[in-house]
Amino acid sequence: MRFITLILLLNTFTVFSSINTTKYDTHKINDEEDKDVLFIISHSKSPNIVVYKANFVSHNLIDTQKPFDVFWLMKSKGNKIEDITYIEKKTAFGFTVEKIEENKRYRIRVKALEEKQIDIIKNQSGKFESFITINNTRIKLENIFVDFEYTFYGPKVKYLDFKGRNPLNGEKIVRRYYNK
């Protein structure tokens, strides 16, 4: 059910008129914006992405009241930033935060993927990084790519690709998670 909610909300921001609907699975935010980005959620029907970002109050000091933020980066509208809606926050892109160690380690669960925990850990240079375990493989998470198709009954998730890097050697990793 959460997969369907995620797709319906992603579909809300799909632009049909001038956007080529080839797979948008290579999303990258420019280097200046990347410094505080934890990971993104992209999908196969639009260039718009959901961005999860660390929220700092000063250099290397995370906001204890709101350590992380989530928003839409509307690439179809010239990289305009838009807040996620109340419904999106409650059903798909919102998240819960568990503080493990103040300003160093957190655990979040995205509403649409509550069975998967994402560990947010500060590295030696002070940047927060996201880690997830998929099929017994630990991944430094960069992108959750959602591939779906439209059916008579509505959107249907085909699979999720968890994309990132091996935390030990930096090699690219993609782990596919099928909707059952």
Q: Which of 3-7, 10-14, 114-118, 139-143 has the lowest mean pLDDT?
A: 10-14
> What is the model's pLDDT at position 19?
28
Res. 14: pLDDT tops 70: no
- Cα dihedral angle (106, 179, 111, 52), rounded to 10 degrees? 60
Q: Spell out the alpha helix ranges (H) of 60-113.
A: 86-91
Tens digits of residue pLDDT in 55-89 = 988 877 888 889 999 999 999 999 999 999 999 99
Q: Is residue 116 part of a domain?
A: yes
* CA angle (34, 38, 42) in 5-degree steps: 85
Q: How confident is the model at residue 180 (pLDDT cuts 50, 70, 90)?
A: low
**Which alpha helices (H) appear in 92-127, and where do they start and end?**
none
pLDDT of residue 9: 44
Q: Residues 161-174: pLDDT tens digits?
A: 999 999 999 999 99
The whole-number pLDDT of residue 33 equals 54
pLDDT of residue 24: 37
User: Has residue 96 been placed in a domain?
Assistant: yes
- pLDDT value at residue 151: 86
pLDDT of amino acid 20: 30
Structural domain boundaries, residue 63: 2-15+37-178
Neighbours of 37 (CB within 10 A): 18
Instruction: Please give the mean pLDDT across all residues of the chain.
Output: 81
Q: Is 30 a member of any domain?
A: no
Question: Residue 16 and residue 48: Cα distance in Å, rounded?
Answer: 12
Count of domains for the chain: 1
Give yes or no for residue 25 having a pLDDT over 50: no
Q: Is the pLDDT of residue 31 over 50?
A: no
**112: β partners:** none
Q: What is the pLDDT of residue 18?
A: 26
Which pLDDT score, from 0 to 100, does residue 2 have? 52
**Structural domain includes residue 63:** yes
pLDDT at position 177: 87
